[in-house]
A and B are shown apart, each in its own frame.
Chain A
Amino acid sequence: MMRLPLFEFRAPRTLEEAARILDGERANAMPLAGGTDLLPNMKRRQQVPRTLMSLRHIEELHRARLDHSGSQLGACLTLTDIAEDSRFRNGLTGLAQAASLVATPQIRNMATLGGNLCLDTRCNYYDQNYEWRRAIGFCLKKDGVTCWVAPGSRKCVAVSSTDTAPALISLGARVRLVSRSGEREVLLTDLYNNDGIHYIKRRPEEILVEVLLDSLHGWKSTYWKLRRRGSFDFPVLSVAAAARLSSAGMVEDARIVIGSAACRPLLADEAAKSLVGRLLNQETIVEAASLAAKIAKPLDNTDFDMTWRKRVAAEFVTYALRELRGDDVRAERESLTRHPGI
């Protein structure tokens, strides 16, 4: 049986107490929410924090407020809370779809929104046991000096594998981070770096408290995920798209995000801009799809062939935009995800 390494355990009751603990421990402590990312990493000795700080008892992190003016989603809402709550529709459909496609039902009962946003980047040279990593002489991301995906690279290329971040970025979400010295709000897309090691700008002493969304009145959103099987697997490519359409079907505003094709979710700005002021028709969709796919540069460190993943990206953008237009793409969705879908 794989065992956790030893750790100190803290379970603060308030955000202030939690902030104080992190302030003292800094990088030696890790906040523990659902545990579904951190604990496997600890068992594989990828992460060996001295202190685990449970967020379970901080009531504030479990709250959700959704109304016409916008939403505040506590970081400790579970993915099941989001996937199964019918308030996450219309503008929020993409988020509900993303949450519903994470891992497995049991994991969604445990894993949290905040945890999924902070998910460690993944790479199949890194997400391995200690012994395996020793057999390759370790890698740049942990204990080694070479990136085996791109041996010439001085930058780690581990892949952003969160499902909810692309969905939330396409909705223009912000996150609120709290530390002992204060708090800040960051546009979610600005939370990430395109660097497999320093992939997140959350500072070790900060707690991601909640996700903030403005009113999504008039918006529609969708999320498409590529993985081998109907469950368990992390995304190896994803497309989140959101658009506000006029009553005539004209695109007033749009965001397209490509996930799992780099160390961070990628905003396909040019593709989104190409749609503004136009109808979603064959021509505009193809154009946007090819613009969006251009920014996807998958590498050989996940499941599936990287060139094939890139090829699929354009197809996924097409599905997403057709869905926003109102096409019936249930058959495509079911065939790809093996789920009937939300």
Chain B
Amino acid sequence: MPKHKDLLALPDRDSQVNSQDLRVIGIARRRVDARAKVTGQTRFADDIFLPRMAHCKLLRSPHPHARIRKIDVTRALAHPGVYLVLTGKDLPIQYGILPVSQDEQALCLDHVRHVGDPVAAVIAREELTAFEALDLINVDYEILTTISDPEEALTTPEPRIHDYGEEGNIHKRVALEFGDVKQSFAEADEIFEDTFFYQGSTHLPIEQHASVAIKDPEGKLTIWSSTQTPHYLHRALAKVLEMPAAHIRVIATPNGGGFGGKSDPFNHEIVVARAALLLDRPVKICLTREEVFYCHRGRHPILMKFKTGVKKDGTITGMHLQTLIDGGAYGSYGVASTFYAGALQTTTYHVPRYRYEGCRTFTNKPPCGPKRGHGTVQPRFGQEVQLDKIAEKLNLDPADLRLRISESSNSITANFFRLGTVNLNECIRRVVKSSGWKEKFRKLPKGRGVGLACSAYLTGAGLPIYWNKMPHSGVQLKFDRSGGVSIFCGATEIGQGSDDVLAGIVAEALGIDPFDIRLFTGDTDLGPVDLGSYSSRVTLMAGNAALQAAERGKVMIAEAVAEKLEVPKERLHFAEKRVFDSMAPEKGVAFQEAVCLAEARFGTIGTVGSYTPPKSPALYKGGGVGPSPTYSYTAAVVEVIVNSVTGWITVPKIWIAHDIGRALNPPLVRGQVEGSVYMGLGEALMEEQEFRRLPKKLSHALVHKFPSMLEYKSPTSLDMPEVFTELVEEPDPRGPFGAKEVGQGPLLPIMPAVANAVYDAVGVRIDEVPITPEKIMKALAEKKAGREPRYGPSHFPHVNWPEALRVQPPWEGGDGNAVNEAPRRARPRTEKEKVLTP
């Protein structure tokens, strides 16, 4: 198949990889923040208690869709112990994570859009008092029509949930075509059309969102918050509070789990900030679990239709994907999610021609957003299950088929994403071997089966959320006379080990111990901007910035040490807390002395590093979502046992191989793989963000079916199968020491691998997630009745798709621009934002 290596432009930076000499990187090591975590000393946001601290509770809408006519807070304000009551008019400015979706208000001014939308805040001496005073607020609502799902949104343009977007209750429609897909189907030997549904799910971090805000002694604002994106919260606070950003300090406390659920600026953060400024006393909020379900921003429910043309040997000639996306009540990251849902189909297998149409609607439910694997998880499910069907029809082993059509390193895809190292085939070979695939597939006794699936994921989004030319990550290093080094960086520790990545990289580069390093991270006052812990970007981006800062420090130190030792500075080596002559290792100085020498020579030693991703060749509109410096790859085999009477499903074992580039700290990498497997398995089998529409004749209610830890089914230790994890390590020159992402990619193959395994076990297709015993039993009944042995959606509704932007693939002479798009620079960037600001 055609590969276009001439389009390649590898980063010109030298590879930092020299594995023989590594003393920190790649070696199993206690993470730098481990002691704090195992002693309970890690200070999460709700662990902050300050003198005179008041507590905040939010009054939330009990209606899915309504106008607010009037709010009367008199009684609440008069309640003993209540300090302050805020409503929408106190915080009217709109905000949102994306510049194109500034559609949220900290407290709804006149329109509530889902049960749980906040309308007022009570701040009181005790949390219980604040809670009880909520009941004393009278809100007069005018009920509006409830819109409960995307199909209803398509057919119900009025009342509009938002007065921006495409039209009616359609938030965003996209249509992109890379090459003539119709022609590609004409050239195919077989065409497969399949419809899939992927249910929504939520992050469920065990830590509920919490924030504490103070007016600091200088009169400025400081807020501690469980956020993955302190930088974006910083911007939202400045906008809504109309304060100079320089007078706002955001401190991201270590997150007790994030998974994407803490990456939007949230209403409660803005409310406590305003309250603290007004009261001049600390104000805390800690959401209840139910409120966390209302923050949501989780996995979008997506209905998908895949049409794929293949040759007899399995070569894909073209693919057409359509998605109908349930966005919930606000924009959140939804525009990006809509593009992501169509972005990565081309990154695993060679798809020479590709068309994508996606449509996100507003509905009266908590807003969906980015959850681990953001937007790419749902279509990955469809693609990998369809591939299993293709393999069966073509009489090919699904593993062999994938090996045949996989993408290779340094390619450019039909939609102009530049791939880095691609070791998908090695991942497939590893799991095929370790799982005993060849002895098991279609050979296990009835009721037992294996399934295989693959995936790819970004190592950091190639573009920032708001357009700018600045670095995505910055690091400052302070070299102390004590021999200690301090790292200052905006990167945010959410459990994934971002602090440890920074410490490990700097320690390796400087030849010191990670424990000699002190970290100041996630603090907008102390460190340079890092965009946040999302899109698996921290290791590569903050890691590269840290490496650059460390290398710059080494240059200065080496020069001073070279002078003292009288050896050429090029010969100096940094290791074991020493700087020494690599030709005569006994000749050297301690690292501490080396820093002193450098300080004597140059003055105070501090260096900076930053990272900006390479420019993407995807120049068309929408091409900003999906490019990444490099991609991780994963393959997984899942074994299942299915009861052929009840459909009860058990997963005894999973084999997974992940193309990581290099594992910086192997136990942490394994933890990310297994954690992803866990979360993927939850989505595959039991997790659902499900809603209950009461009978329309009796009620307008639309409620989350079970906003609780008990009824939202997160697998327990007894539900977790054995997992055999392998890491494929071919260092990618784009990553620090060759590292690529691991936090998200390994989640993606689990759901389709389960579906494919169920088919192998009992011969029924479950084209829907989660894959529950009920659905399996229904499909078994269909099979028994001689009908299509399948459970899944039967149709894809009509959507008025816009004319597709047409981009010629690289191999058809394309240059990354759309042939039918106006020159992009002409489009003023601020236009949309202006329309949305009240």
Contacts and interface: CB of A to CB of B under 8 A. Distances in A.
Q: Is chain B in direct contact with chain A in the complex (CB below 8 A)?
A: yes
Interface of A: 1-3, 124, 127-129, 131-132, 134-137, 146, 148, 151, 228-234, 303-305, 307-308, 311-312, 315, 335-336, 338-339
A151 B773 contact: no
Contacts of A124: 705-706, 711
A131 B290 contact: yes
Contact of A136 (B128, B288, B694, B715): B694
A3 B131 contact: yes
B286 A1 contact: yes
Contacts of A303: 711, 713
A321 B716 CA distance: 29
Nearest to A318: B645
Interface of B: 46, 60, 62-63, 115, 127-128, 131, 286, 288, 290, 641, 643, 645-648, 650, 686, 694-695, 698-699, 701, 703-708, 710-711, 713, 715-719, 772-774, 777
Contact of B127 (A1, A228, A234, A305): A1
B63 A311 contact: no
B285 to A, nearest CB: 10
A128 B701 CA distance: 15
Contacts of B711: 124, 127, 303
B288 A151 contact: no
A3 B706 contact: no
A338 B719 contact: yes
B161 to A, nearest CB: 18
Contact of A1 (B62, B288, B646, B695): B288
5 contacts: A135-B703, A229-B686, A230-B716, A311-B777, A315-B646
Contacts of A127: 708, 710-711
Contacts of A131: 60, 62, 290
Contacts of B115: 132, 135
Given A124-B711, A135-B701, A146-B698, A336 B648 contact: yes
Contacts of B63: 135
A295 B777 CA distance: 21
A135 B645 CA distance: 39
Contacts of A1: 46, 127, 286, 288
Contact of A132 (B128, B695, B703, B777): B703
B695 A229 contact: no
A221 to B, nearest CB: 23
B131 A229 contact: no
Contact of B695 (A2, A134, A151, A308): A151
B703 A136 contact: yes
B771 to A, nearest CB: 13
Nearest to B134: A131
B643 A335 contact: yes
Given A129-B288, A231-B718, A338-B719, A308 B713 contact: no
A2 B131 CA distance: 9
Given A304-B772, A338-B719, A339-B718, 20 more contacts: A1-B286, A1-B288, A3-B128, A124-B711, A131-B62, A132-B707, A135-B63, A135-B703, A136-B699, A151-B695, A228-B686, A229-B718, A229-B719, A231-B718, A232-B716, A233-B713, A308-B647, A311-B777, A315-B646, A335-B650
A147 B115 CA distance: 20
B706 A229 contact: no
B703 A229 contact: no
A129 B645 CA distance: 37
Contacts of B699: 136-137
A132 B702 CA distance: 10
Contact of A229 (B288, B641, B707, B713): B713
A135 B641 CA distance: 40
Given A129-B290, A135-B703, A137-B699, A232 B127 contact: no
- Which 9 interchain pairs have the tightest Cβ spacing? A230-B718, A338-B718, A135-B62, A305-B774, A308-B774, A3-B128, A135-B115, A134-B62, A231-B716
B701 A137 contact: yes
Contacts of B60: 131
B641 A335 contact: yes
Given A312-B646, A315-B646, A335-B648, A228 B713 contact: yes
Contacts of B715: 229
A218 B12 CA distance: 82
A304 B701 CA distance: 22
| Interface of A, helix, strand, loop or mixed by DSSP | loop
Nearest to A103: B710
Nearest to B294: A131
Contacts of A148: 694
A238 to B, nearest CB: 15
B294 to A, nearest CB: 9
Q: Tell me which of B127, B641, B716 has the highest count of chain A C-beta atoms within 10 A of its own C-beta.
A: B716
A151 B128 CA distance: 34
Contacts of A307: 774
B716 A229 contact: yes
A260 to B, nearest CB: 15
B114 to A, nearest CB: 10
B92 to A, nearest CB: 24
Contacts of A336: 648
B131 A232 contact: no
A151 B646 contact: no
A338 B643 CA distance: 14
Contacts of B713: 228-229, 233, 303
A3 B127 contact: yes
Given A135-B703, A308-B774, A230 B719 contact: yes
B288 A232 contact: no
Contacts of A135: 62-63, 115, 701, 703
A23 to B, nearest CB: 30
A131 to B, nearest CB: 6
A146 B698 CA distance: 10
Nearest to A314: B645
A1 B451 CA distance: 43
Contacts of B288: 1-2, 129
Contacts of B286: 1
A307 B773 CA distance: 12
Nearest to A227: B713
Nearest to A339: B718
Contacts of A146: 698
A305 B131 CA distance: 35
A50 B46 CA distance: 30
Contacts of A2: 288
B777 A308 contact: yes
A329 to B, nearest CB: 13
Contacts of A233: 710, 713
Contacts of B46: 1
Contacts of B645: 315
B48 to A, nearest CB: 14
Contacts of B647: 308
B53 to A, nearest CB: 14
A102 B257 CA distance: 28
A304 B647 CA distance: 12
A231 B713 CA distance: 10
Contacts of A308: 646-647, 773-774, 777
Contacts of A129: 288, 290, 707
A322 B647 CA distance: 20
Nearest to A131: B60
Nearest to A337: B718
B446 to A, nearest CB: 15
A172 B60 CA distance: 49
A127 B708 CA distance: 9
Nearest to A306: B774
A177 B718 CA distance: 38
Contacts of A136: 694, 699, 701, 703
B774 A304 contact: yes
Nearest to B64: A135
A282 to B, nearest CB: 15
A312 B777 CA distance: 10
Q: Tell me which of A1, A135, A311 has the highest count of chain B C-beta atoms within 10 A of its own C-beta.
A: A135
Contacts of B772: 304-305
